[in-house]
A and B are shown apart, each in its own frame.
Chain A
Amino acid sequence: KNEVEQSPQNLTAQEGEFITINCSYSVGISALHWLQQHPGGGIVSLFMLSSGKKKHGRLIATINIQEKHSSLHITASHPRDSAVYICAVPRIQGAQKLVFGQGTRLTINP
């Protein structure tokens, strides 16, 4: 079993829909990361969170430490949100070595 599991692996939706991507992990963590990989390949860090919720524009990330689960939500989705979304956690609390999920490929159709 992977240490970091994402679901779904692929998601296609219509513009305007509310999107949820899930991440479950089995390692102990101090913070969880959400990354976005654009179709051109570039990787951008979206959020780093260790508790509760963070919001940036139409993106909202939540985490439940007890349940070892995080969700990334996108409100009013747009075709430019089409990307691969990746979650990652440190393998050891406070350490630099991240373990990555396999990513969720999101496609938003106009």
Chain B
Amino acid sequence: DTGVSQDPRHKITKRGQNVTFRCDPISEHNRLYWYRQTLGQGPEFLTYFQNEAQLEKSRLLSDRFSAERPKGSFSTLEIQRTEQGDSAMYLCASSYIMNTEAFFGQGTRLTVV
């Protein structure tokens, strides 16, 4: 399968713990997006990369969130000191270039207890 892959699919963590998610984009895609989605809402933009450069980060994103894309391939999203409000589906998408179609991975569902 050559689609966008996310790992893990589900994560349950205790409040205050750190978590890290991984996204492997479609191989020839140089744009990679992270979104967060809660029940009844559309995906909320978090950040995106073009190759290894992080070009935009949502103002809503607290300092507890950080993302990297070393070497312009896979990306990681880390949440430090998780809070119950961080419980959501975290979605990764990739696209070839700006303004072209973006494809999503299966998502990582985070539950903070």
User: Does A associate with B in a complex?
Assistant: no
Give B contacts to A, CB under 8 Å. Answer: none
A residues adjacent to B (C-beta < 8 A): none
